[in-house]
Amino acid sequence: MPELPEVEVVRRGLERWVGGRTVADVEVLHPRAVRRHLAGADDFVHRLKGHAFGAPMRRGKYLWLPLADSGSSVLAHLGMSGQLLVKTQQAPEEKHLRIRVRFEDAAGDAAPGTELRFVDQRTFGGLSLHENTPDGLPDVIAHIARDPLDPLFDDEAFHQALRRSRTTIKRALLNQSLISGVGNIYADEALWRARLHYERPTATFTRPRTVQLLGHVRDVMNAALSVGGTSFDSLYVNVNGESGYFDRSLDAYGREDEPCRRCGTPMRRRPWMNRSSYFCPRCQRPPRAS
């Protein structure tokens, strides 16, 4: 599932193949793939035509392409199964192709004759168009916190937010207004590395504990990024349709009944918030009931 490392891999691909190119035409094949656009898909198409894409940007799991000379951006969220692919115009259509963007070819294009495709099996993701804030951020994601790989992420502010909250640590890690980019997979991986149970109350966190956890979050994300992200199936791929390899390095997620790589105890899976949490019952002791 696309979390921060996977989205960053896609952003880098877009930077290489799409940045600087001018939109010739847009085809919306599934109206739901255009999000939050009250004027409809036709208006979305009209507003993109003739504009050049600037350098792609990312915050957490969101990425956006600024539209030159417009003060607005095309915002993309991949949801659970979204893909942004750069394909030749002759390439066969994907079964779940939702939006196609064609470009005006120009001298210097890295990949003339190619187009950008948004493919999404479950249609949890989509593209949308928004005005930029003075910081250059699409206005609808102004509430999204910086992600832990952002040099301006404030560790101390995050620690204070944990101390103030009456919640548990995995909920906090998935709260995109506290820290962005972390999803179910990397939350479980970071908590396993930090030997923390997912139900531990955030109000009990000491500053060293928070710093240690953030270090593990960053380590696991950087490790995933270095091998192209995590792919369990064909649902996550980079812009060239290639899978990442980090699933082979996962220590917690998806390892129910397999031995913990630290102590050998069988890993457990517990239903949690309509999803699953994977943990080692020995290394990650549940908090004492208060």
Partner DNA sequence: TGGTTGACCTGATGGC
Partner DNA sequence: TGCCATCAGGTCAACC
Single out the residue of 20, 227, 202, 165 nearest to residue 104, CA to CA. Answer: 20
Which one of 45, 54, 70, 124 is in contact with DNA (CB under 7 A)? 124
34 binds DNA (CB under 7 A): no
Our finding on whether 166 is near DNA (CB under 7 A) is yes
- Using CB under 7 A as the binding rule, whether residue 287 contacts DNA is answered as no
Please give the structure tokens belonging to residue 143.
């509430």
23 vs 185, beta carbon nearer DNA: 185
Q: Which two tokens stand for residue 185?
A: 């997979």
Q: Is 122 marked within a binding site?
A: yes
List, in sequence order, every beta strand (DSSP E) within the chain: 22-28, 57-59, 62-67, 72-77, 82-88, 97-104, 114-120, 126-131, 268-272, 275-279
Tokens of 226: 């270095």
Judge whether 58 is annotated as a binding position: no
- With H, G, I as helix, E, B as strand and everything else as coil, classify residue 197: coil
The order of strands in the sheet holding 126-131 is 57-59, 62-67, 72-77, 126-131
Does position 3 interact with DNA (CB under 7 A)? The reply is yes
Catalytic (active-site) positions: 2-3, 61, 275
289 binds DNA (CB under 7 A): no
Which region, judged by CB under 7 A, interacts with DNA, from 102-110, 146-154, 160-168, 260-268?
Answer: 160-168
List residues binding DNA (CB under 7 A): 1-3, 32, 60-62, 77, 79-80, 95-96, 121-124, 140, 164-168, 171, 174, 176, 183-185, 253, 269, 271, 273-276
